[in-house]
Amino acid sequence: MTDEKVELALEQFYKLSIEEKTAVIDFLTMTRQELTEFLGVKNHHIDTKYSGKLESLQFGIFLTSVAEKVKGENRVIPPEMKSKPKKVLKQIQQLTVEQQKAIIQKVTMTRAEVVKALSITSNTLNELLSKGKIHSVKRGLYLKDEVERRNREKLSKHTGLFTKEIIIASLQEAARNLGPSFTHEQYASWVKDQPDEHPSVPTIWHFFNGGFTEAMKAAELQPVYQRGMARNMDQKEKEEICVQALLQAARDTGVQVQKLSQPAYIEWRKENSSFPSFATIVNVLGGWKQGKAKVAESEKSL
């Protein structure tokens, strides 16, 4: 059963940067050492004096709100925390212990889960941590977005280009900020705001025969059936999308792009309405023949 308050808090949490998310989760949780310092007790008192009162979130990680109730005093929010993550933090603090646990478990991973997700050994994870190639919220607790970022970089470096798996992961990451249904224009705008590289809309069209709609379905998201392109798209991006439409139409109709006729494209587009219309192709590429002339050169760069 969906918890509306948890979903609302997660919606705001996913809008934060990785650094801001890390700061929020770091404050909401405590390591055993942080816990003893906050309570002002010795390590063994956690298992004796406070036995049964300080249930751990996972091995060695405790919930700050529980520790605050035990001590009867609130933990001080770091003054350097920015207003946006602070607002999200306070929203989560208003929730019950169980709701807070649900959020933290939803957005974080244990060390064992990270090792499995990245298909690496525990020693390799230590090396990545020491080299700053992956960051933990605190010992044994990792932000899921950070692990996915590392996994995407690993796959991209290994293959030399994007893959369907990377595209699906990128769309799912976008969905945590944009919701389960969004247009390719919204996705393109989101990509521009991300600190690391994500597959562009033209790249997605290149990998999925059904274009952005098929990619959304593959990512188990809800496609938005739309026509046309956003006015705020730059000319280069519009041209790349139109070129991909010509390439896909040629593949589906079994002809070379240079032999693709205007009527054939119009007929093909009736069953593939997420692609640009014939009029858009002509308008963006400067004409039908001119558009087809750009295909070979553009295809090499995708």
pLDDT, averaged in runs of 10, over the chain (302 residues): 84 89 94 91 82 78 92 92 94 94 92 84 84 84 85 56 82 87 85 80 76 85 62 72 82 84 88 79 88 72 48
Kindly state the tokens that stand for 258.
């240079």
pTM of the model: 0.55
Residue 155's pLDDT is what?
Answer: 52
Residue 25's pLDDT is what?
Answer: 95
Please give the Cα distance from 103 to 120 (Å, whole number): 26
Residue 127's pLDDT is what?
Answer: 83
Residue 143 contacts residue 21 (beta carbons within 8 Å): yes
Using H for helix, E for strand and C for coil, what is the string for the chain?
CCCHHHHHHHHHHCCCCHHHHHHHHHHHEEEHHHHHHHHCCCHHHHCCCCCCCCCEEECCEEEHHHHHHHHCCCCCCCCCCCHHHHHHHHHHHCCCHHHHHHHHHHHEEEHHHHHHHHCCCHHHHHHHHHCCCCCCCECCEEEHHHHHHHHHHHHHHHHCCCCHHHHHHHHHHHHHHHCCCCCHHHHHHHHHCCCCCCCCHHHHHHHCCCHHHHHHHHCCCCCCCCCCCCCCCCHHHHHHHHHHHHHHHHHHHCCCHHHCCHHHHHHHHHCCCCCCCHHHHHHHHCCHHHHHHHHHHHHHHC
Residue 228's pLDDT is what?
Answer: 52
